[in-house]
Amino acid sequence: MEMNEVLDKLPAHLMSLVIEQPYNEYTSRDHAVWRYVMRQNVRFLSRVAHGSYVDGLKKTGISIDTIPHMYGMNRILKEIGWAAVAVDGFIPPSAFMEFQAYRVLVIAADIRPTDQIEYTPAPDIIHEAAGHAPIIADEEYSEYLQFFGKIGSKAFSSARDYELYEAVRHLSILKADPYSAKGEIDAAEKTLAHIDSTMGEPSEMSLIRNLHWWTVEYGLIGDLNSPKIYGAGLLSSIGESYNCMQPHIKKLPYSIEAAHFNFDITTQQPQLFVTPDFKTLSDVLNEFADGMALRKGGKSAVMKAENSKNTGTVVLDSGLQISGTFNDSVFDGDEVVYLRTNSATALAYDDKELPGHGKSYHTEGYGTPVGNIVNSNKPVYLMTEVELEEAGIIEGKDVQIEFVTGLKVKGHLTTIRKPEGMNLIFTLQNCTVTYLDKKLFMPSWGTYDMATGSKVVSAFSGPADPGAFNLSYKAPAETTHKIVYSDSDKIVHKLYQKVRDIRFQNTTPTAADVSDLQNIWTTIKDKYSSEWLLMVEMLELLESNTGTNPFSKEIHKRLAHIQNTDKKLSKLISDGLALLSETPVISDAL
């Protein structure tokens, strides 16, 4: 992979999800699918997309004729402060958001097959490169996208969210594979429906994913009655970009209420949301973030960390960050009395792990009280040495610290850690921690490191210092199914390549080219008479030739027959034929 200054900033834990773009595996038919979709996009979307779309295609190095090599795109994307990486299908939502926070587009490397040319249930390079990339050239939208990544990557998921992600990924892989058995797909749909119906209270991640879907993926902008498209899912779907403009698709004003509208990723959407401008997107996201554990803190933040059953970080008002899997914390009403993790835990400050307080030290978990001590309204971390002494807290002495919650800490205080002059961590030997009739820490458990903080001010998903925590995302166990082409498919690909070669060799086909095309047509009509896209590509060449091409009439006749017998293909063919006399707006390949 060719790196640049944007990609150099990516943390190591995201790199495990990055793959090499399998560029040499794209067939000539794949390039034809890309070309068809892109030509239709430029033709139709120039009228209905947000004004920055066509300009964005040029700015981001997207070719009309050829599937882009994303690392070629990177040479252009870096000029607007972004980059692209290839991944295998859906990746975990938190990882997707974090890439976005680093201004990196995640591009699914596969491309949809011909029978899913209008809409694909799985992410592909058309969706990512042709959908997301052009719009980020708009500076205001680019800032929103990065802001969303920063907020979204901190959102807590529930344990069920991970199951849902796996189920969605599995179904999308099956649906994108033309050889999947119907029984397999039906079973996967049943599993997904069951998980979806038993999710319970929605997590932060599930709600913010809805906001992402109805803006970044399926957003409309402008006037409610005549909006424009900016969402990548619409920009990359020639079927849905047309369908979404029709009156039967509800157009709702975009607000925070969109967070409570779920979506089905495998089908077209029954309603869409319209934002008046890109600024409103950031305003709504800020409104949502104000209710997140990230900004709200308190008991609800700790509960969200516990419900995730995964690594989270709880932040005290002292600035100390505790990263681990939270479980069995102690509460008194709405007050947090004691924080507790049951996994290897790290302590950090300002997103940097404190030396000596990593997972290799706190291997069994961690616990600490929260609150002020009795007879003092001043947080312990801000108390002066004199004030600590007046409270009986002296280094090298036995101490008994009682909190207003009733929790008591008793032991020998060996050291007080004071980064930036604050009393951040008290280390005690022979320590006992009790609350009511509960023993929260015993001397036999070893050294006790008590964090100081009067309240929980924030909590977020993941560790504070991912590098020191050795965070990693495992590559998905189920990979996207690679199509095994038959000998017949390989012959068809060669026919597509011959047509492609003729197009790139001569602006207007020569007599020899026309003869070659006639030989190709003879092969098609005898053995591959359903290859409508190849026929459209041939007609584009033939009808640019001023000479007489009697067999072009045969091709038209065959296409008309396909239209009459297959409603699904009728509009695709009509739209393809409409392009024959049009000149591409963008044609320079990378």
Q: What is the mean pLDDT of residues 18-41?
A: 93
pLDDT for residue 580? 83
pLDDT for residue 162? 86
Burial of 124 per CB tally in 10 Å (0-12, 13-18, 19+):
buried
Element (H, E) at 368: strand 366-369
- SS3 annotation, 415-441: EEECHHHCCCEEEEEEEEEEECCEEEE
Q: What is the mean pLDDT of residues 325-332?
A: 97
| pLDDT-based confidence at residue 356 (cuts at 50, 70, 90) | very high
Q: What's the pLDDT tens digit per position in 262-285?
A: 887 767 788 999 999 999 999 999
Q: What residues form DSSP beta bridges with 49?
A: 229
Max alpha carbon distance in the chain (Å)?
A: 103
Return d(Cα 60, Cα 132) in angstroms, integer.
10
Return d(Cα 457, Cα 285) in angstroms, integer.
20
Distance of CA 65 to the CA centre of its chain: 27
Q: CB neighbours (10 Å) of residue 554?
A: 15
* Residue-wise DSSP of 116-141: GSS--SS--HIIIIIIIHHHTTSHHH
pLDDT at 586 over 70: no
Q: What is the mean pLDDT of residues 504-524?
A: 89
Q: What's the pLDDT tens digit per position in 295-327?
A: 999 999 999 999 999 999 999 999 999 999 999
Return d(Cα 466, Cα 3) in angstroms, integer.
21
Q: What is the mean pLDDT of residues 491-498?
A: 97
The secondary structure of the chain in percent helix, strand, coil, rounded to multiples of 5, reads: 45, 20, 35
Q: What's the pLDDT tens digit per position in 439-475?
A: 999 999 999 999 999 999 999 999 999 999 999 887 7
Query: Which residue ranges form the domains of the chain, and what is each CATH number?
Result: 7-158+201-286 (1.10.800.10), 309-469 (2.30.30.100), 487-578 (no CATH)
Which residues have a Cβ under 8 Å from the Cβ of 392 and sit 6 or more positions away?
399, 400, 401
Q: What's the pLDDT tens digit per position in 86-120?
A: 999 888 889 999 999 999 999 888 998 888 888 77
| pLDDT-based confidence at residue 129 (cuts at 50, 70, 90) | confident
Pairing status of strand 335-341 against strand 366-369? antiparallel
Q: What is the mean pLDDT of residues 49-73?
A: 84
The two structure tokens encoding residue 141:
């939208």
pLDDT for residue 590? 34
Return d(Cα 118, Cα 314) in angstroms, integer.
45
Q: How far is CA 148 from CA 79, 145, 211, 276, in A?
A: 21, 5, 10, 18
- Higher-pLDDT residue of 247 and 76 is 247
Q: What's the pLDDT tens digit per position in 405-416?
A: 999 999 999 999
CA neighbor of 254 nearest in space, from 226, 286, 221, 232: 221
pLDDT for residue 47? 86
**pLDDT, averaged across the chain:** 91
Pairing status of strand 330-332 against strand 271-275? unpaired
- Rg of the chain's alpha carbons, rounded to an integer? 29
pLDDT for residue 423? 95
